Chain A
Amino acid sequence: MTGLAPPAVRVRPATGSAGGRSGSIAWMALPALAIFVAFGVIPLVGVLLLSFTRWNGIGAIHPAGLDSWRTVLTDPGLPHALWVTFLVMALSWAFQTPMSLLMGVFLAGHQRYREILAIVYVVPLLLSSAALAITYKALLDPNFGLGAGLGIPLLAQDWLGRSTLALCVVVFVVSWQFIPFHALIYQGGVRQIPVTLYEAAQIDGAGRIRQFFSITLPQLKYTIITSSTLMVVGSLTFFDLIFVLTEGGPGDATRVLALDMYKRGFQANLMGPASAIAVILVLVGLALALLLRRLGGRDASASQQEGM
Chain B
Amino acid sequence: MAHSAMSRRSFLNLAAGTGAGVALAACGSSGPGQGEGGSEATYWYLTGAPGEQIRTNTVNRFNKANSDSQIKPTAFENDAYKTKIRTAIGAGQAPTIIWGWGGGGLKSWVDAGQVDDLTDWFAQNPAVKDRLFPSSFGAATVNGKIYAMPCETVEPIVLFYDKRAFDKIKAEPPQSWGEIMSLVPRFNAAGIAPFSLAGQSRWTNMMWLEFLFDRIGGPEVFQAVFDGEKGAWSNPASLDALTKIQDLIKANGFVKGFSSVVADANADQALLYTGKAAMMVHGTWTYGSMAEEGGNFVSGGNLGFMNFPPVEGGKGDPSDTVGNPGQYLAISSKASAEQKETAKKFFSTAVLDDTEIGEWLDTGGVPIVKGSESKIASSKAPEFLTFVNETASKAKVFAQSWDQALSPTAAEKLLDNIAKLFQLSITPQQYVDNMNQVIGQ
A-side residues, CB < 8 A to B, are 36, 39-44, 46-48, 50, 56-60, 137, 140-144, 156-163, 222, 225-226, 229-230, 233-234, 236-237, 246-247, 249-252, 258, 261, 263-271, 274-275, 278-279, 281-282, 285-286, 289-290, 292-293, 296-297, 300-301
Contacts and interface: CB of A to CB of B under 8 A. Distances in A.
Interface string B79-96: 000010011011000000
B10 to A, nearest CB: 8
Interface of B is mostly: helix
Interface string B82-123: 010011011000000000000000001101111000000000
Interface stretch (B17-25, B306-314, B361-369): B17-25
A266 B255 CA distance: 31
Given A58-B112, A278-B19, 13 more contacts: A56-B409, A137-B262, A143-B261, A143-B271, A156-B257, A161-B259, A225-B4, A226-B6, A226-B7, A267-B408, A269-B86, A275-B22, A296-B4
A44 B90 contact: no
Interface residues on B, range: 35 or more
Contact of A289 (B11, B20, B257): B11
Given A43-B23, A158-B257, A278 B18 contact: yes
Contacts of B420: 251-252
B258 interface: yes
B257 A142 contact: yes
Given A140-B260, A143-B256, A268 B3 contact: no
B26 A271 contact: yes
A293 B276 contact: no
Interface stretch (B315-323, B372-380, B384-392, B411-419): B411-419
Of B199, B257, B261, B416, most buried by chain A (CB within 10 Å of CB) is: B257
Given A225-B4, A266-B25, A285-B11, A161 B257 contact: yes
B11 A160 contact: no
Contact of A251 (B90, B112, B260, B419): B419
A43 B16 contact: yes
B169 interface: no
A57 B3 contact: no
B15 A286 contact: yes
A289 B16 contact: no
A261 B86 contact: no
A167 to B, nearest CB: 14
A58 B86 contact: yes
A41 B16 CA distance: 7
Contacts of A289: 7-8, 11, 15
A242 B13 CA distance: 22
A48 B90 CA distance: 19
Nearest to A265: B22
**What are the nearest 5 A-B pairs in CB distance?**
A142-B257, A59-B112, A161-B259, A40-B16, A43-B23
B359 to A, nearest CB: 31
A278 B22 contact: yes
Interface of B: 1, 3-4, 6-8, 10-20, 22-26, 83, 86-87, 89-90, 108-109, 111-114, 199-200, 202, 255-262, 267, 270-271, 276, 407-409, 411-413, 416, 419-420, 423, 425
A58 B109 contact: yes
29 contacts: A39-B16, A39-B17, A40-B20, A43-B16, A47-B22, A141-B261, A144-B267, A157-B257, A159-B257, A160-B259, A222-B1, A222-B4, A226-B6, A229-B7, A233-B15, A234-B14, A250-B259, A252-B419, A271-B26, A278-B22, A279-B19, A281-B15, A281-B18, A282-B15, A285-B14, A289-B11, A292-B7, A297-B4, A300-B1
Contacts of A285: 11, 14-15, 18
Contacts of B8: 289-290, 293
